[in-house]
Amino acid sequence: MKLKIKMPQLKIPKIKIYGIDVIKNFLFFTLFIIITLMAIAFVIAPSIRYFKKNQNIYYKTKTEYLSTKKEYENTLASLNSLKKKDAKIIAAFRREFDPKNFKNFASNYMKVENIEKNTTKVYKNDFLQTVYYVDAAIKSPEDFYKFIDALKNYKYVIKVYFPIDFEKNSSLIDLKLKIEHYRLKNLKALKAEVKAH
Q: Mind listing the pLDDT tens digit for each residue in 141-151?
A: 888 888 888 88
Q: Each residue of 4-59: pLDDT tens digit?
A: 776 666 666 677 777 777 788 888 899 999 998 888 888 877 888 888 899 999 99
What was the pLDDT predicted at 190?
45
Indicate if the pLDDT at residue 128 is higher than 80: yes
Give the pTM.
0.53
pLDDT at 189 (0 to 100) = 47
Neighbours of 163 (CB within 10 A): 7
